[in-house]
Amino acid sequence: MTTLKDRFLKYVSFDTRSDESSTSYPSTEKQLVLLNHLVEEMKAIGLTEVSIDKNGYAMGSIPASPGCEKAPVIGFIAHVDTAPDMSGANVHPQIIENYDGSDIKLNDTLTMRVADFPELSFFKGHTLITTDGTTLLGADDKAGVAEIMTAAEYLIAHPEIKHGKIRIGFTPDEEIGRGVDHFDVKAFGAKFAYTIDGGFEGELEYENFNAAGAKIDIQGLNVHPGYAKDKMINAIQVACELNAMIPAWERPEHTTGYEGFFHCHTLNGSVENATIAYIIRDHDMERFEAKKKLMTEAVALLQQKYGEGVLTLTLKDQYYNMRKMIEPHPAVIEKAILAMREANVEPLIRPIRGGTDGARLSFMDLPCPNLFAGGMNFHGKFEYASLTTMEKSVSTIINIAKQWAK
């Protein structure tokens, strides 16, 4: 059997960065290289009904144990793409055995300091896998991919473990919000599923933000600055004026827990043209709608000030809080809690300050909470994963399979 560590290190060697500017699906061809590899690996370890469709969704099955055919079909899902925020090519993982709790030198000029990342203290004694400080690691979500594959191989190799039918799915483009745009829930065939896409050990998440994206295109009027009085419309200044109308205390750097935010993630342009883009987030639907209304009214006010055609707002909902769809099925959470405790993991139930494929799948009639995968500091050069926690994730997946057969 392939070890979890070797499997994970193999997967992070694939460059699977997604591209939000692409119009293809998947957004990058290189994601298909890993997805096709996973198809062949699923076949090699004995999964059945292995397939990959035209959109890159790779799926496979572990048949039910004899006598467990009537158990609900459950699924485990992870995404293969890495975030566009930083390169995921030529990843050089560094392995730290029995981590001593001190600062971690990533390279000659970069150190990951416990003072900056206090969560590191939890991982004292663990085996950690870090970057070399030049790329992200790819634990988001190749840790989840490796854990699902390792658990699947273990279940197939140990037929004495009783379980119902299990479906496995690997998706592209989660990092750019398109992970389940074409996911065929009917073909997947599970009654319930779990995304293995969380971070800290014990995370169990079934609440997430309601999410929208706002893009404002600004058409300025550029004239010579020496003769600009009452003529020039500086698109950059209009963008800054709009941003000043958004409450400063509702930015990500000032919010936590259930507090939502406006996050300005793109601002570029010139006097003639500019674009400013936001993500809008809130767990509470009423507050979410109020935030969208504020954005709409701020743009409308500036449209009145500067005239028709200067500001164009594109506002689009992205996903919603899955709590509404999961709470009617308490067993999905209860069995995950029992499975974690059986793996000597203390469940840490808290809202996701983000979203997962599971949020959208839950609204596609596949209730799908999110479980820890052991990666930390996603999307950047300080990303790392605890192999010790990843092993507990594998045990949790196996235990969930057992729980649903009871």
Catalytic residue ranges: 81, 174
Q: Which helix (H) or strand (E) holds 261?
A: strand 261-269
At 317, give phi and psi (nearest 5°): -65, 145
Q: Which helix (H) or strand (E) holds 313?
A: strand 311-319
Lookup result for tokens 């899955």: 322
Give which of 188, 230, 155, 135 is closest to 397, Cα–Cα.
155
Q: How far apart are CA 376 and CA 382, in angstroms?
A: 8
Q: How many CB atoms lie within 10 A of CB 25?
A: 14
Q: What is the DSSP string of 69-123?
A: TTSPPEEEEEE--B-TTS--SS---EEETT--SS-EEEETTEEE-TTT-GGGGGG
Contact 210, 285 (CB under 8 A): yes
According to DSSP, the residues that pair with 386 across neighbouring strands are 128
Q: How far apart are CA 19 and CA 26, in angstroms?
A: 9
For 30-57, letters b (16+ CB in 10 Å) and e give bbbebbeebbebbeebebeebebeebbb
Q: How far apart are CA 15 and CA 308, in angstroms?
A: 45
- Using DSSP's 3-state secondary structure scheme, residue 124 falls into coil
Q: How far apart are CA 97 and CA 218, in angstroms?
A: 53
Give which of 404, 398, 403, 238 is closest to 313, Cα–Cα.
238
Q: How far apart are CA 31 and CA 179, in angstroms?
A: 12
> What are the Cα distances from residue 295, in Å, to 109, 263, 264, 300?
42, 12, 12, 9
Q: How far apart are CA 206 and CA 199, in angstroms?
A: 14
